[in-house]
Structure 1
């Protein structure tokens, strides 16, 4: 029997709350958002457990998903106790430049308080997990798949399989941080409502030969946008919009696409294996019910174009941490998440609208549409509007 099983052996569905080990919170999912929430709960001294289906983190060989850490996300990481280390390891993106056919359409310089930091998601998750290892009241258990949640009125019982052994954990509250295909979202019967914005992209990381190690480069070309962002270690991420996933996807294919659209090249020998993905958008309704709440990708799927999803999830965690602390301190009624549901759904809807706008701006365009788009970019780059654009780009509205 594992440590998690031993801790929960008495927590059977029929046990009285006073006779079983009672957790304050069970967090389902040990991704970037679930780990950050767990670190916040640990700082409050709350008793929590994180259950993760995977036996190990994603291997380092796979391309990291998100890299952009916006100011609200950095504040959340600081609250979790890893902000200084993130700053030390990350590359600062100080400005951005938009071009088309080799001509600059606009520039944007971020103020010191609004700079974006670039650090691969897997490195951030490793820092959060290291921080969690030091916690006395919160533990992480891998290889555990949640199969059900029973509401006992005064508490929940979370049912799971721990490497083939049944596991039952009692908790005051549960949080689904288990990603886009969230099982917790299904268990609480939340709708997964599609939102506008869908497009396909290819992505590749390689050595940065642009000569702009602190600049985000956006090429709004007629065949579709090509974006590139600095990464730690002298690396750069390239992302290109495509009509459909290429039949042959390798670094050479992405490099050929980038060169055809922008005239820039990159070293394919130094590149990671590229990936293709479809950006889609959904928002859960509700994001909380009874004693169960959703955070991060379990609550909302946001297009990664613009780097909003992970940061929005961290903001969810900060808000939910406060709600949980207040509920546990005051023995609040089980509808304590009503305000969280309203505020985070509103934030997610704002994020989907901004992401949909970003995707429209990066769509293939020719003729009048291309000229109109380029004119709009020039207008947005005027001094009077740069501040508004900068706040939107760096998610200061969170």
Structure 2
């Protein structure tokens, strides 16, 4: 019997596995994908997460691979409305790191493999989970057939469609929003350099973030009529119409559209199984908090797992963990709702008023610093 089985080999599951392996805990990570995902996906790593990632020795390598976003600017009608510096948000990491998720996962996987070359089991589909009060048994199907893995504890880090959450019939009320977005990565032909740019235009927001390799991500809130299929040309056209910036569709390396949902479980700890990351809380990608929330879940859960493995009674600590992390997730949901509201289409007269109010608020140093801290999850 192993100590901990982690269901889900994405960034959150891999991070937790590395934390535990460093402490001599035996771990198996069950990942349905047979190969790593090559999609750039999430790109923003906030300062608290960099501090967490530093605990397993991968932060410095990621910082070297990524782009350090130290400043964000809000633009409306071609005029800078507000600027925001992240210099004061952290002593060690005074920036948001932009790095494609594929590189982040690769760094995490390398660390896990270095600690235990047999820890990750790919092509593993979980079909059942059983908790007898003293151990957990997880039913798995792989290319080699069916098997059952016995562990002292289980952690579900298997994403928004969590198999474990469904198998355990854990309530997780779902809310959907009207907002839809189109996202794509293109060669960077702007003069923004390492700055993030938010275009607060009356037809809807356009967001722009630097990426490694002289690339840039563009995200636009879609109008009521969505293109038949997401395309680089559609996104380039929206960016040009709203910002005046010409994006070369021919340089596109990724394009996708997405809607917005939020979901919070009522409980994150169920017997000997815990849920973390998107399995426990799904929030809007706008603001880039989802992956970061999962890492902070894992960082807080890891010492409690160590205590449970020594048969220490940590029921009160687990309840405190659950309350704290669910409050953090609820706060992130509220922040994402504010972000989405600011990016929705508004009539032109209200657009002028809104942008003036944003500019006035941002000119107050205390407010500016507080907003910067909220955006970077401090």
Quick check: 2:269–2:318 contact (8 Å CA) kept in 1?
yes
Deviating above 2 A after TM superposition, structure 1's stretches of 4 or more consecutive aligned residues are 194-198, 329-340
Question: For residues 267 and 221 of structure 1, do their structure 2 counterparts lie closer, same or farther at Cα, with a shift above 3 Å needed?
Answer: same
Question: Quick one: which of 203, 206, 218 aligns to 1:226?
Answer: 206
Structure 1 residue 118 displacement after superposition:
0.5
SS of the aligned residue for 1:76 comes to helix
Question: Quick one: which of 290, 299, 303 aligns to 1:322?
Answer: 303
Q: Does 1:239 align with 2:219?
A: yes
| 2:368 equivalent in structure 1 | 386
Question: For residues 27 and 335 of structure 1, do their structure 2 counterparts lie closer, same or farther at Cα, with a shift above 3 Å needed?
Answer: farther
- Could you tell me how far apart the structure 2 residues matched to 1:282 and 1:88 are? 34
Question: For residues 225 and 82 of structure 1, do their structure 2 counterparts lie closer, same or farther at Cα, with a shift above 3 Å needed?
Answer: same
TM-score w.r.t. length of structure 1: 0.90
SS of the aligned residue for 2:128 comes to strand
Quick check: 1:93–1:118 contact (8 Å CA) kept in 2?
yes
Q: Does 1:293 align with 2:286?
A: no
Structure 1 residue 244 displacement after superposition:
4.6
Q: How does 1:247-286 map to 2 (within 5 A)?
A: 247-286=228-267
Q: How does 1:1-398 map to 2 (within 5 A)?
A: 22-58=1-37, 60=38, 62=39, 64-111=40-87, 113=90, 114-136=94-116, 139-163=119-143, 165-195=145-175, 197-242=177-222, 243-332=224-313, 337-382=318-363, 383-396=365-378
- Could you tell me how far apart the structure 1 residues matched to 2:341 and 2:314 are? 43
Q: Which runs of 5+ in 1 are unaligned?
A: 1-21
Q: Deviations over 1:11-69 (max 9, x none)?
A: xxxxxxxxxxx1111000000100111111111110110001111111x3x3x110001
- Could you tell me how far apart the structure 1 residues matched to 2:12 and 2:249 are? 33
Quick check: 1:94–1:115 contact (8 Å CA) kept in 2?
yes
- Could you tell me how far apart the structure 2 residues matched to 1:379 and 1:304 are? 27
Structure 1 residue 229 displacement after superposition:
0.2
Structure 1 residue 161 displacement after superposition:
1.1
Aligned residues, how many? 372
SS of the aligned residue for 2:335 comes to helix
- Could you tell me how far apart the structure 2 residues matched to 1:78 and 1:273 are? 29
- Could you tell me how far apart the structure 2 residues matched to 1:75 and 1:56 are? 28
- Could you tell me how far apart the structure 1 residues matched to 2:96 and 2:225 are? 30
- Could you tell me how far apart the structure 2 residues matched to 1:281 and 1:82 are? 30
Structure 1 residue 320 displacement after superposition:
1.0
- Could you tell me how far apart the structure 1 residues matched to 2:69 and 2:133 are? 49
Quick check: 1:47–1:137 contact (8 Å CA) kept in 2?
no
- Could you tell me how far apart the structure 2 residues matched to 1:206 and 1:311 are? 24
Structure 1 residue 124 displacement after superposition:
0.4
- Could you tell me how far apart the structure 2 residues matched to 1:326 and 1:303 are? 33
Quick check: 2:6–2:154 contact (8 Å CA) kept in 1?
yes
Q: Which runs of 5+ in 2 are unaligned?
A: none
- Could you tell me how far apart the structure 1 residues matched to 2:2 and 2:315 are? 16
Greater CA deviation, 193-202 or 174-183? 193-202
Quick check: 1:202–1:245 contact (8 Å CA) kept in 2?
no
Question: For residues 387 and 196 of structure 1, do their structure 2 counterparts lie closer, same or farther at Cα, with a shift above 3 Å needed?
Answer: farther
Quick check: 2:176–2:260 contact (8 Å CA) kept in 1?
no
